[in-house]
Amino acid sequence: LKNRNILIEQKYPGVADFTEHFMRVLPALKDKRYIEVDGKPLFMIYKPFADEKIPLFMETWRKLALDNGLKGIHFVGHCNDHKYSPEQILSLGFDSVNTVRLDNYLANYRSLTTKILGRLNKILRGVPLAYPYKLMSKYFIEPSIDSDSNVYPSIIPGWDHSARSGREGLVMTDATPDLFDKHVKDVLQVIGKKEEQKKIIFIKSWNEWAEGNYMEPDLKWGKAFLEVLKKNIIA
């Protein structure tokens, strides 16, 4: 992007703002359809390390939840940065962690030669990094970590945000329903032995057309990705 100016700054002023936020969403938290863990409404925080007030935010909401007839809040910390571990996120006071290993292969498994060639390709040709979904999807799951009861893994149907990020983007090529089927089966196997209410998976994402990770029907595959997901869930 040529222009990175802030259009509207988002701030987190403190307890008064946290309280107003809580009261705004309280009707949803009390809705009988709301997803709960241990009787507590589940609430995700996208960037656990983005603000030093996040532990205070969780403390405030937990107290407000008890004061308003709830059993508490089940806070989930989003973990999509290989620099942080689930343990580091849990240490902030989160109840669980959602792992998203979109760049796990790039960060931890590429050879030095592949890293250099990828970087040169981006610089010299001005194109984003591109790798086969078949290769990338092998590293979306870490069974030794994602099988833990307080870790919720993710299903990733694809990825391509070059439309808005240009050569800074990352593209996963040739995602197919068959490859997606293998990925979904791997994730379901990882959570298979967890207690029922901890068998939680996040899909990244349902309708992110601008980032190439969508489940909605398209002209190429129709409803195939949705049918794969349905087949595996009800199996």
How far is residue 190's CA from residue 146's CA, in Å, rounded to a whole number?
A: 7
Domain spans of the chain? 9-99, 100-235
How far is residue 228's CA from residue 206's CA, in Å, rounded to a whole number?
A: 14
Which one, of 205, 100, 79, lies nearest residue 153 by Cα?
Answer: 100
* pLDDT above 90 (res 36): yes
pTM here is: 0.90
* pLDDT band, very low/low/confident/very high, at 123 (cuts 50, 70, 90): low
To the nearest whole number, what is the mean pLDDT of the chain? 91
How far is residue 225's CA from residue 22's CA, in Å, rounded to a whole number?
A: 36
Output the CA–CA distances (angstroms, integers) from residue 203 to 51, 100, 208, 212, in the order listed.
25, 10, 11, 13
* Domain 9-99: CATH architecture, name and number where available: 3-Layer(aba) Sandwich (3.40)
Which one, of 123, 134, 224, 138, lies nearest residue 173 by Cα?
Answer: 134
Kindly report, residue by residue over 140-178, the tens digit of the pLDDT: 999 999 999 999 999 999 999 888 888 788 899 999 999
Q: Take residue 163 and report the two structure tokens written for it.
A: 């439309």
Q: Take residue 159 and report the two structure tokens written for it.
A: 């990825």
Output the CA–CA distances (angstroms, integers) from residue 54 to 46, 76, 92, 95, 150, in the order listed.
11, 12, 8, 13, 19
Q: Residue 44's CB: how many other CB atoms inside 10 A? A: 15
Are 172 and 132 in contact by the 8 Å Cβ rule? The answer is: yes
Average pLDDT over residues 21-49: 98
Q: What is the dihedral of CA 179, 189, 155, 91, to 10 degrees?
A: -150
Kindly report, residue by residue over 53-101, the tens digit of the pLDDT: 999 999 999 999 999 999 999 999 999 878 899 999 999 999 999 999 9
* pLDDT band, very low/low/confident/very high, at 40 (cuts 50, 70, 90): very high
Average pLDDT over residues 177-192: 98
Q: Take residue 55 and report the two structure tokens written for it.
A: 């532990």
Average pLDDT over residues 168-190: 95
Average pLDDT over residues 19-47: 98
3-state SS class at 113: helix
* pLDDT above 70 (res 118): no
Which one, of 8, 79, 17, lies nearest residue 49 by Cα?
Answer: 79
